[in-house]
Amino acid sequence: MRREIALGLLIAGGALALAVSGYQAAPAQQTPAPKIVEVEKLKDNLFMLKGGGGNTAVFVTSTGVVVVDTKNPGWGQPILEKIKTLTDKPVTTIINTHTHADHVSGNVEFPATVDIVVQENTKTNMEKMGAVTGLATTPAPNIFKENNGRGMPKHTFKDKMTLGKDADRIDLYYFGRGHTNGDAFVVFPALRFMHAGDIFARKGPPLLDANNGGSGVLIGDTLAKAHATIKNVDSIITGHSTVMTWNDLKEYADFNKEFVAWARAEMKAGKSVDDAAKEYAIPSQFKDYTANANQSKTNIGVVYNELKK
């Protein structure tokens, strides 16, 4: 009898502990961080929206709004709400610079009528939404499959495509592999502006997403081709940093070419990835560049793998 009572108390105590821990966990789940979109006005009809993933460009044309990149999951609606404070015009078009979740996920929250344009390899990558080299080994659930295909591209281009004309004109270019195998350069000729996405994310080591076709051997050449081919651009919206100049793009091409030449020499000298990573430092001529030892080490591995093939 006594033993049964004791057991009953133990069970009741366990249930109480579970209930308490459940009660404590709930409020944290109910108060997610507010999604704050910050606006930087670049021209009367061009804005950079910051926060929640990659930089978003909002280009207001005579017929509607073109949005370049739509940030992380849950940020589509905050982008739409912020656009309403900038113009009464509806969003007509989304351009995604590449496949990564922090640039495409908001697509699913836009009206289904919105046209979506990407480079053709990016469409293939978005069908998979595979793991990103150097980040997670298992990919997040495919947000487009979860939304029955909503937010997937409706139009693609291979090397070049023009949307609209005159003041509304947008030129899309693809110059080869780099950050992924589908990085679009989005040019607004009338404004002398370009959105480069993550092939120029910041002044520092790039993310080279080999799993999505990226290339450490080729990224410098791809950037140099963009710099040599595209004309009449002064300012560049980067993937994750501030607005940069046209000369900054040339310098970034040189930075990446320098890196692959150095990695090639290290491999030739028989250095392991670990040994090479310990030696690496950003060359002094790249003045305001930020080091990222983990990314540089991953990138040495990516370059070595390519050179071995």
Which residues are near Zn ion by CB under 5 A?
Answer: 100, 198
The answer to whether residues 263 and 304 touch, using CB atoms and an 8 Å cutoff, is yes
Q: Which is nearer to Zn ion, 55 or 61 (CB)?
A: 55
3-state secondary structure of 26: helix
d(CA 252, CA 245): 11
Shortest separation between residue 278's beta carbon and Zn ion, angstroms: 27
The answer to whether residues 60 and 34 touch, using CB atoms and an 8 Å cutoff, is no
Of 138, 98, 101, nearest to 118 by C-alpha is 98
Shortest separation between residue 10's beta carbon and Zn ion, angstroms: 53
Shortest separation between residue 233's beta carbon and Zn ion, angstroms: 21
Q: Which residue has the tokens 């459940």?
A: 22
Shortest separation between residue 54's beta carbon and Zn ion, angstroms: 7
Shortest separation between residue 254's beta carbon and Zn ion, angstroms: 21
Q: Which is nearer to Zn ion, 164 or 182 (CB)?
A: 182
- The dihedrals phi and psi of 118, each to the nearest 5 degrees, come to -145, 165
Q: Which is nearer to Zn ion, 184 or 277 (CB)?
A: 184
The pair of structure tokens assigned to 308 is 């071995």
d(CA 221, CA 16): 64
Q: Which is nearer to Zn ion, 71 or 100 (CB)?
A: 100
d(CA 197, CA 184): 7
Q: Which is nearer to Zn ion, 61 or 96 (CB)?
A: 96
